[in-house]
C-alpha cells in the first residue's frame, strides 16, 4: 500500500518494546499539531481513545477472510480434513455419543480453505469471518480512525491497513496535511502494516537493556522498508549513561535524535485525568513540546 499523495505527511509512532510511551506521546503530538488526522493502529490493545475521548461518528464491522464450518449432519467422519489441515484446527467433535465427527476450532484456523475444497461430502461451509470493528470519530484535535480487533481474531495487519487507508482518505478529503499514527509494539505483521508508506517512523524507547535491544531491531525494520527514523528516549534520566549510548547508536544507524522525555509521574497523572501530557504544564510536557518543535524543523 503506497501513499500516492506526497503532500500528506505521515508520522508513525512505534517502539519495538511495548509500554515505552507511544500512546502518551501520540496523543500529545495530536494536540500540538493542530488539525491532523489521527489513526490508532494498535488494533490489539487500542488506548488512544482513553485520552482523546472521541465521539464516534460511524462504526463498521471488519470482515476479513472466511471461516469453515462443518455441517454435522453431512460429516461422515472420514477425517480427511483433519489429515490435510496444517494448523491443527480440526478437532473431534465432543458431546455426541457414538457418531464420529469433526468440528473446526476457529482460534487455530487460518482460513486457508483446504478442508472446504477437499471434503469429499462437500460438508463444509465457508462464510465470511467477522474479525472486529473500525470507527471514524471526532476528537478536539481532528478526525480519528480507530479499531477493535475481535478477541483472539486474525488479520490484525489487514485491519491496520484499513485504518490507515481511511485516515489517508479523510486527510485528502478534508485537506489535512498531517496524519499521526499510533503504532503497535513489536516488529511483525501489524507493525509492518502501520509503517507502510509512512514519511517518518518516530521511535520511542527507554534507557533499559530491553529498550536498547528492541530499538536496534525496530531501526533495522525501518531501514528494511526504507523509512526515515527519528528516536526519542523516554524516562531518559532513569539511566543517563545508557541514554547517551542509545542516542549515539541511533545517529550511527542513520536516525535523527529528536529529544528526551524525563521520568515524570505527571505522564501517568495525565492518563488518570483522561487528558494528554501537554494539557498540563509539567516538565515532561515541556520535553514533548521540544520534540514537536524539533520534528517540524528540518534536519
Q: How far is the CB of 73 from other proteins (least distance, A)?
A: 26
Residue nearer to other proteins on the CB measure, 18 or 122 = 18
CB of 92 to other proteins, least distance (A): 17
Count CB neighbours of 211 within 10 A. 25
Minimum gap (Å) between residue 42 Cβ and other proteins = 8
Nearer residue to other proteins within complex by CB, 199 or 266: 266
**Can you give the binding site for other proteins, defined by CB under 8 A?**
15-20, 23, 44-45, 47, 50-51, 65-66, 84, 86-87, 107-108, 110-114, 117-118, 149, 151-154, 156-157, 184-192, 206-210, 213-214, 217, 220-221, 224-225, 235, 238-239, 242, 263, 265, 268, 271-272, 274
The nearest distance, CB 9 to other proteins, in angstroms, is 24
Q: Which is nearer to other proteins, 110 or 173 (CB)?
A: 110
Nearer residue to other proteins within complex by CB, 262 or 294: 262
Nearer to other proteins (CB atom), residue 99 or residue 265: 265
Q: How far is the CB of 133 from other proteins (least distance, A)?
A: 13
Give min distance, CB of 36 to other proteins, in A. 21
Amino acid at each position: 500500500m503506497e501513499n500516492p499523495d506526497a503532500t500528506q505527511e505521515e508520522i508513525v509512532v512505534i517502539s519495538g518494546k511495548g509500554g515505552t510511551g507511544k500512546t502518551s506521546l501520540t496523543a500529545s503530538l495530536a494536540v500540538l499539531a493542530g488539525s491532523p488526522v489521527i489513526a490508532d493502529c494498535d488494533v490489539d490493545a487500542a488506548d488512544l481513545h482513553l485520552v482523546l475521548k472521541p465521539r464516534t461518528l460511524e462504526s463498521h464491522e471488519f470482515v476479513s477472510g472466511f471461516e469453515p464450518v462443518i455441517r454435522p449432519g453431512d460429516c461422515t467422519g472420514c477425517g480427511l480434513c483433519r489429515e490435510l489441515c496444517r494448523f491443527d484446527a480440526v478437532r473431534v467433535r465432543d458431546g455426541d455419543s457414538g457418531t464420529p465427527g469433526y468440528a473446526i476450532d476457529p482460534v487455530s484456523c487460518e482460513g486457508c480453505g483446504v478442508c472446504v475444497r477437499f471434503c469429499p461430502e462437500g460438508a463444509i461451509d465457508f462464510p465470511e469471518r467477522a474479525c472486529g470493528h473500525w470507527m471514524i470519530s471526532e476528537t478536539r484535535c481532528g478526525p480519528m480512525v480507530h479499531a477493535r480487533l475481535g478477541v483472539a481474531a486474525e488479520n490484525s495487519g489487514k485491519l491496520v491497513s484499513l485504518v490507515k487507508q481511511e485516515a489517508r482518505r479523510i486527510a485528502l478529503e478534508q485537506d489535512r496535511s498531517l496524519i499521526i499514527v499510533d503504532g503497535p509494539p513489536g516488529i511483525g505483521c501489524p507493525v509492518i502494516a502501520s509503517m507502510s508508506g509512512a514519511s517518518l517512523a518516530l521511535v520511542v524507547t527507554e534507557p533499559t537493556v530491553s529498550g536498547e535491544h528492541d530499538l536496534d531491531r525496530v531501526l533495522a525494520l525501518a531501514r528494511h522498508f526504507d523509512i526515515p527514523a527519528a528516536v526519542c528516549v523516554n524516562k531518559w534520566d532513569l539511566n543517563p549513561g545508557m541514554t547517551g549510548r542509545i542516542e549515539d547508536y541511533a545517529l550511527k544507524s542513520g536516525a535523527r535524535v529528536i529529544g528526551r522525555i524525563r521520568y515524570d509521574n505527571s505522564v501517568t497523572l495525565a492518563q488518570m485525568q483522561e487528558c494528554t501530557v501537554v494539557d498540563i504544564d509539567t516538565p515532561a510536557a515541556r520535553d514533548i513540546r521540544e520534540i514537536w518543535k524539533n520534528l517540524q524543523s528540518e534536519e
